Amino acid sequence: DFFDGELRQIVAKALSRIMNDLNSPMDRDIVFRRLVMGEKPIDIINRYPGDPARVYELTKSVKRKLKVMLENYLPTQNNANVAGE
């Protein structure tokens, strides 16, 4: 099934590319915990109490970048699937 295998790989590659662009190991850890592991923001804030807004800003920014990357790829895939190719 396309959505199980290929889409998961596409999301993983896109997220990996975004994570590599993050300068700070803390930022990478925050993004990983929130978007990959699904931790709640409050749990991450408790782990990194210095800048609570950072967790929200970073997560929002990464989600936005991920959405753009996926939108750039998926329309061609969806059109091909609709056309039966």
The pair phi, psi for residue 4, each rounded to 5°, is: -75, -50
Helix, strand, coil percentages, rounded to 5, for the chain: 80, 0, 20
pLDDT digits (tens, 9 = 90+) for 26-78: 999 999 999 889 999 999 999 999 889 999 999 999 999 999 988 887 766 55
Domain contains 85: no
Whether pLDDT at 17 is above 80: yes
**pLDDT in the model for residue 1:** 54
pLDDT category, 83, cuts 50, 70, 90?
very low
Residue 46: alpha-carbon gap to chain centroid: 21
Q: Residue 15's domain spans which residues?
A: 6-79
Look up residue 74 and give its amino acid: L
Domain contains 34: yes
Listed in sequence order, the DSSP H helices in the chain are: 6-21, 25-31, 41-47, 52-82
Whether pLDDT at 84 is above 50: no
**pLDDT in the model for residue 71:** 86
Domain contains 47: yes
> Any idea what the CATH number is for the domain that residue 71 is in?
1.10.10
Count structural domains, the chain: 1
DSSP SS3 for 24: coil
